[in-house]
Amino acid sequence: ATRTRYTSIIDHNPLWGKGQNLYVFGAMIISIIIQIIITEITWFNRVFHTAPVPIKYIFPTLGFGMTWLLIDELRKWCVRTWPHGLIARIAW
């Protein structure tokens, strides 16, 4: 959520332009695969003392992540709209 201090996630995306970073998608896929392996495969459960995560715990986590993204985008909008305002001064 905080790739930049001011630019929105829509304006500064990793697919094209100055902030292009295509490795991000590969890293996300590898990270998800490792998480699934460690939590779902029995042998890894014994080695790492993990267990499968019930779906009832996954959705609140996704909701919290989306809320945090919206809060950060609102902060960036406030900083762009009022560059000398209170939010801009305390944000960084």
Span 16-31, pLDDT tens digits: 877 788 999 999 999 9
Span 62-73, pLDDT tens digits: 999 999 999 999
Indicate whether 74 pLDDT > 80. Answer: yes
What does the pLDDT read at residue 3? 63
Domain boundaries, the chain: 23-91
For the chain, how far is it from start to end, CA to CA, in angstroms?
15
**Rounded Cα distance, 83 and 79, in Å:** 5
Span 31-57, pLDDT tens digits: 999 999 999 999 999 999 999 999 999
Report percent pLDDT > 90 for the chain.
Answer: 67
